[in-house]
Structures are given as C-alpha cells and as structure tokens.
Structure 1
Amino acid sequence: MPRQLLTDELWEKLKIIMLKMGIYDKPCLRKTVEGIFYRLRVGCPWRDLPTAFGNWNAVYKRFNDWSRKEKLMGIFNALVVDPDLEWEFIDGSIVKAHQHNSGAACEQETAIGKSVAGNTSKIHMAVDACGLPIHFSVTGGEVHDCKEAPKLVAELPKGDYIVADRGYDSEALRLQIKDKGAVPVIPRKKNSTRGNDEMDWCLYKYRHLVENVFARLKHFRAIATRYDKLKRNFEGSIALACGLLWLPM
C-alpha cells in the first residue's frame, strides 16, 4: 500500500467536515481522499495513480466534482477555526505551470499568465499570527501583488495589523486597511519622499511566517509545479493542502 497522510484521528475529524459539505459517506471515501492527497504530494498524472486507491478515473472525477462545487474550499474554510488575528501577513508566490496543464476548454478560467519564467500562476496568501493560512486567491503569474491586494484584503477577517512587503506599497491599500480598523505595516519604497519613520520593523521581521507557509505548501509537488488545467482545480488542490495544515489544530 502506498504511503498515506491521514491517521485515524485526523481522518475522523476530516470525515465529519466532508459530510457537512454534502459529500456522501461511501465505503471507498477514505481511499479516494488518500488518492487525491497522494497525487497532490507526488505530482503524478491521474492515470498513474496506484490501483490501491481505486480506479484513477473515479478518484479524478470526485476531485473534479468537489472542486467545481467548491466543496474543497468549503472544507478549508471549515477547518479555519479561531485563527489568531492580531497579526495578518500577506504575500504572493509564483508557481511554474507545466506544459501538461495546457489544453483546457477556452471558456473555462485557467489563471495562467505569461511572465519572465514563461507560463506561471501566482498564489496570493494571507496567514494569521500563528503562521496558518486563512485566505488565498490564484491569478496569472503576471499579476502584480499590489493589483490583487485590494481583493485579498477585502476578504480578510478584521485584524489588528496587516503586514506586507514593499511590493504592496500603495496609499490606496493603506487607506483600505485603515478603513477595516487595522494598522498597515508596509515599508515604503526607497525612492519615497515620506520615509519609513512610522514602520514597526520588529513586527515586520515576522513576515517570514507567510513565507514559511509557501515553503510548506510546496512540499506538495502538484502545488510547487502546477499541472491542473483549470483554475478551480488548482484552487481545490491548494485548499486541501492548506486544510491539512489546520487539521491537527
């Protein structure tokens, strides 16, 4: 039997949430979920999924259906319980898109763009003060962090401080953060005439927490390199990986 990720304790916790999402408790449910996690971890084509997880096409159809109906995103949101919102950290990370993710139907959203690295996507992530993901979005790799930031910040729960790097230097974004009742901790660019006298550099040093989340997510090879053709399926993969970080909490 291939290596699995879920202990009996973690599976029971996850199963309860999946049933609340309207996912049927079939006898093969655990094998199906482990098969999805296996593919997420090793990045193999669906057709190369070990037979121990059942028919590869059945496992893929479950994953595709749950992504389409946003059930995987719902599982992630259900696992985000009592986050520490004193500090919120936001950042973006580029993901190289493999050539196998081409060929999606033209009417389906892909969130793949052209950048210096070729075909890429970008994950825009927000984490809490404990370094756990609380929200994310996916765009093409050419989308600047500052352009997606207003949508990301608008979806965040109210926190005390929102911390980001110089790529988010925007007075409009600072105003949006203040309107949410939070304090922006964003350094201004070196050519700014206003300077950084008001910056809390001690808090800014903890920005590595969001970088740590990207490092942990990219242990999953299907996230470190994007193979999914559709945006919704790639988001589903990220949601499962983020949910797995919350599962032991």
Structure 2
Amino acid sequence: MSRRYQLTDAQWGLIEPQFPSRSLIGRPTREPRQVLDGILWILHTGAPWRDLPERFGPWNSVYNTFRRWQDAGRIDAILEALQLKLNEEGLINFDLWCLDGSNVRASKDAAGARKKNTSMNQALGRSRGGFGSKIHLVTDGHGLPLSFCLSPGQSAEISYATSALAMARIPTSSGRYRTRPAHLAADKAYSSKAFRAELRRRRIKAVIPQRSNQQRRHKGRPLVLDKVHYRRRNVVERCFGWLKKFRRFSTRYEKLAKSFAAFIKLAFCLRYLRELCVDRKPAF
C-alpha cells in the first residue's frame, strides 16, 4: 500500500501527545493518525472530500472530524506544540522575520456560504487576479512560516501588516510567548509612516525600502536601508512557492475562512515536522 502523503512514525510521534487516549466507553472512534493522514491527503491533492481513498475511512467521517478538530482547537494545539519544540531546539530565527502577501484564486465552490457569513467575513473578494483571498504571511529569516492572516483578495497588504505580525506568537518553555524579532523585512508595499511607527514602538528595526514618492517628500535624516538583511527577504517568497505546492492551498475550495485557515496551519505543521525530523548528527 502506498504511504504517499502520510506521516512517518517519527513525525507522528511528535504530535501524538496532542490527541487524547481512546475511550473504552461509547462508540469506538477512528484512529487519529488514520484520520489525519486522510486530511493531509486532501491538503496535498486538492481533491474533493468524496474522492478520499477508502483506506482513510468514510469521507464524511474524516470531514466531520476535521471540522470538530477546528472547533476544539486541536489543530492550533498541534501547531503550538511544534513551534515550542522548534524554539527549544533553536531552529527559529529571531534576528530577522519577513512579511509579504500573496493572492490565492478561489474556486466557484468557495462561494455560497450562508447569508449571515458574507464574502468579506469569509476573506473572499475580487481583485485584478480574479475572485479569491489574500494571505499575509510572516516567516523567520530561514523561510520558516510563523503566522498568517486572511483578507479579501482586493485588500491592500499594508492594511493587514500589523495583524499578521501580531499573530506571530512563539511559545517558550516558561509559558510565555516571543512576539518580536530584531528586524522585519518587507517590500515597498509596507512602507508607511504608521507601520514604521508601530515597529519602532515594538522595538523592531524596519528593513523596508521607501517608495520613490516618499523619498521626495521625506524631511529630516534620510532612512537608511539595511541591505544585508533586505537581501534575505526573498525567503518569504520562496515559502509561498513551497506552500502553493499543496493544491488545497494554491486554490481555495473552502467556503469558510476558518476551514481554509486550518489547511494552511496543517501545511505549516508539515514544514515544522520536516525540520524537526531531519537527522542533524555529524557524519564521521
């Protein structure tokens, strides 16, 4: 049997503690690993839920479990546990974080949420690229995804810069969170006085070039761009390229923003597991 897109034993061992032991009372439930492998198959292939292979169980059971895990915060718990492990092993770069946005086209199936859930509430809108969503992504200096937020496709990137950065909360063993890097790199779309002031307030050095019209109007000491750190900004673009290999990411099929966000978080988790399960022992 092909195990393509399924977790290895080492990867499952890192996230198994986030699932409660099976109860001996009541209707027996499916193994969490089997269900999670089914959800990851959907994430990779972008296939409809009804096309889920039988080896993962009935598609509607896997789908309903996916929805329950969203509502119960199970996926968030897995994400935070893996971020804690990465932080403890020194695999998160706090010297430089990078910020960027990218549009994702939405399928026609993504439209049609209940009327009380408007398109704006579900982070859907029409831009020059078509109908879809915009993902505002924060990575560390190595291209490791840390946080994101969703907005309608026509939204300006600067409008969600503060929100995306605020979502980056890296847990520590003391129970507190690290929420800021030494430097933040972003392109000219994020060059605004308000955002630069917010970064200064948080004691983060902005690595953001000015737009040409801002340079002409700027008074006082000219802003100096840290070119060494700015050259590394492309890691966030490469991270987007990696994420868009997941077909459930590259095209949005979910009507609800929380369901689309859950798939993005699972993609983050796969990146974390890849980092944590690499054999870093020196070769002799």
The verdict on a shared fold, with TM-score over 0.5 as the criterion, is: yes
Deviation at 1:174, TM superposition (A): 0.5
Please state if 1:96 is matched with 2:110: no
Give CA deviations for 1:141-171 in whole Å, capped at 9, x if unaligned: 1111100012223333121001100010101
1:28 pairs, out of 26, 31, 53, with 31
Q: Counterparts of 2:5 and 2:197 in 1: how far apart (Å)? A: 46
Letter in 1 for 2:124: I
Q: With a CA cutoff of 8 Å and minimum separation of 6, indicate the structure with the bigger relative contact order.
A: 1
Q: Counterparts of 2:116 and 2:100 in 1: how far apart (Å)? A: 29
Please state if 1:144 is matched with 2:152: no
Q: Counterparts of 1:169 and 1:223 in 2: how far apart (Å)? A: 28
Go from structure 1 to structure 2 and tell me whether the alpha carbon gap of 1:94 and 1:196 turns closer, same or farther (over 3 Å shift): farther
Letter in 2 for 1:179: R
- The aligned counterpart of 1:246 is 272
Task: Tell me the TM-score normalized by structure 1.
Answer: 0.93
Go from structure 1 to structure 2 and tell me whether the alpha carbon gap of 1:115 and 1:201 turns closer, same or farther (over 3 Å shift): same
Q: Which has the larger radius of gyration?
A: 2
Q: Counterparts of 1:198 and 1:214 in 2: how far apart (Å)? A: 28
Unaligned runs of 5+ in 1: none
Letter in 2 for 1:41: H
Letter in 1 for 2:55: A
**Structure 1 contact 5–37 (Cα < 8 Å) conserved:** yes
- The aligned counterpart of 1:160 is 182
- The aligned counterpart of 1:75 is 78
Go from structure 1 to structure 2 and tell me whether the alpha carbon gap of 1:23 and 1:90 turns closer, same or farther (over 3 Å shift): farther
Q: What is the alpha-carbon root mean square deviation over aligned residues?
A: 1.8
Aligned residues: 246
Go from structure 1 to structure 2 and tell me whether the alpha carbon gap of 1:163 and 1:127 turns closer, same or farther (over 3 Å shift): same
- The aligned counterpart of 1:57 is 60
- The aligned counterpart of 2:173 is none
Q: Counterparts of 2:21 and 2:50 in 1: how far apart (Å)? A: 23
1:229 pairs, out of 234, 255, 258, with 255
- The aligned counterpart of 1:14 is 15
Q: Counterparts of 2:39 and 2:99 in 1: how far apart (Å)? A: 28
Please state if 1:127 is matched with 2:139: yes
Go from structure 1 to structure 2 and tell me whether the alpha carbon gap of 1:184 and 1:7 turns closer, same or farther (over 3 Å shift): same
SS at match of 2:238: helix
Deviation at 1:73, TM superposition (A): 2.6
SS at match of 2:34: helix
Q: Counterparts of 1:155 and 1:64 in 2: how far apart (Å)? A: 22
Residue identity over aligned pairs, in percent, reads 33
Q: Counterparts of 2:22 and 2:195 in 1: how far apart (Å)? A: 43
Q: Counterparts of 1:144 and 1:70 in 2: how far apart (Å)? A: 29
Unaligned runs of 5+ in 2: 24-28, 169-178, 277-284
Q: Counterparts of 2:129 and 2:262 in 1: how far apart (Å)? A: 24
Task: Tell me the TM-score normalized by structure 2.
Answer: 0.82
Give CA deviations for 1:52-71 in whole Å, capped at 9, x if unaligned: 11000000001112123332
Alignment of 1:142-221 (within 5 A): 142-156=154-168, 157-192=179-214, 193=216, 194=218, 197-221=223-247
**Structure 1 contact 94–122 (Cα < 8 Å) conserved:** yes
**Structure 1 contact 153–177 (Cα < 8 Å) conserved:** no
SS at match of 1:162: strand
**Structure 2 contact 136–150 (Cα < 8 Å) conserved:** yes
